[in-house]
Structure 1
Amino acid sequence: MVGSVIQGPIVLNNLDTYVYQSWHGTLITIAVILFVVSFNTLLAVRLPLIEGLLLILHIGGLFAIIIPLWVMAPRGTVHNTLFKFTTTGGWSNLGLASLIGMVNPIGVLIGYDCSVHMSEEVQDASIVLPKALIWSVVPNGLMALVMGATFIFCIGDVDEVLASPTYEPFIQVFFNATQSYAGATIMTLIIMIMLTSACISEVATASRQLWSFARDGGVPFSGWLSHVSPGWNIPIRAVFVSVLISTLLSLINIGSYVALNAINSLGVVSLLFSYTVTISCLVWRRLYGAPLPPRPWSLGKYGLPINVISICFVTPLLFFAFWPVSANPDATGLNWSPVMFVSILVVALVYYVVWARHVYTGPVVLVKRDD
Structure 2
Amino acid sequence: MLVMSPTKATVQGTFGTFVDSTGWDNPTAVTQLGLLMPIWVFWGYDASAHLSEETLDSSSTPARSIVIALAASQILGYAFVLILNFTVSDIDAVLQCRFNQPLVCAFEQGTGGSKSATMFLTIWMIFQFIWNIQTALNGASRALYAWARDGAIPKFFHWVHPETKQPLRTVWFFTFVGCVLLLANFGSSVAVSAFSAFSTIGMNVAYAIPTICKLIWARDTFKQSAFNLGRLSIPINIISVFWMFYVVAILCMPQVMPVNGQTLNYSPIMLGGVTILITIYWFAGARKWFTGPKMHITLEEAQELEKLKLDEDAKKASELGVSA
TM-score normalized by the length of structure 1: 0.75
1:187 & 1:229 partners in 2: Cα distance? Answer: 37
2:99 & 2:193 partners in 1: Cα distance? Answer: 18
Q: Is the 8 A contact 1:216 1:363 kept in 2?
A: yes
Q: Is the 8 A contact 2:44 2:203 kept in 1?
A: no
Stretches of structure 1 lacking an aligned partner (at least 5 in a row) = 1-67
What amino acid sits opposite 1:242 in the alignment? F
Q: Is the 8 A contact 2:84 2:110 kept in 1?
A: no
What amino acid sits opposite 1:355 in the alignment? G
SS in 1 for 2:193: helix
- Deviation of 1:285 after TM superposition, in Å, equals 4.3
Segments ≥4 residues shifted beyond 6 Å: none
Quote the RMSD (CA, aligned, Å): 1.9
2:4 & 2:216 partners in 1: Cα distance? Answer: 52
Matched, 1:214 2:144: no
Deviations 1:24-51 (A, max 9, x none): xxxxxxxxxxxxxxxxxxxxxxxxxxxx
Q: Name which structure has the greater RCO, CA cutoff 8 Å, separation 6+.
A: 1
- Deviation of 1:229 after TM superposition, in Å, equals 3.8
Deviations 1:232-261 (A, max 9, x none): 411111111111111111222222222222
Matched, 1:99 2:32: yes
Question: Would you say how many aligned residue pairs link Structure 1 and Structure 2?
Answer: 298
Aligned match of 1:330: 260
Aligned match of 1:313: 243
Aligned with 2:85 (options 128, 148, 152) = 152
Alpha carbons of 1:70 and 1:278: their partners in 2 closer, same or farther (altered >3 Å)? farther
Alpha carbons of 1:88 and 1:355: their partners in 2 closer, same or farther (altered >3 Å)? same
Deviations 1:27-76 (A, max 9, x none): xxxxxxxxxxxxxxxxxxxxxxxxxxxxxxxxxxxxxxxxx334424211
Alpha carbons of 1:122 and 1:315: their partners in 2 closer, same or farther (altered >3 Å)? same
Q: Is the 8 A contact 1:101 1:325 kept in 2?
A: no
- Deviation of 1:264 after TM superposition, in Å, equals 2.2
SS in 2 for 1:237: helix
Aligned with 2:167 (options 201, 225, 235) = 235
Aligned match of 2:53: 120
1:276 & 1:284 partners in 2: Cα distance? Answer: 12
Alignment of 1:81-230 (within 5 A): 81-178=14-111, 179-219=113-153, 222-230=154-162
TM-score normalized by the length of structure 2: 0.86
1:136 & 1:130 partners in 2: Cα distance? Answer: 10
Aligned match of 2:231: 301
Q: Is the 8 A contact 1:70 1:150 kept in 2?
A: no
SS in 2 for 1:69: coil
2:222 & 2:57 partners in 1: Cα distance? Answer: 19
* Aligned-residue identity in percent: 25
SS in 1 for 2:108: helix
Aligned match of 1:261: 193
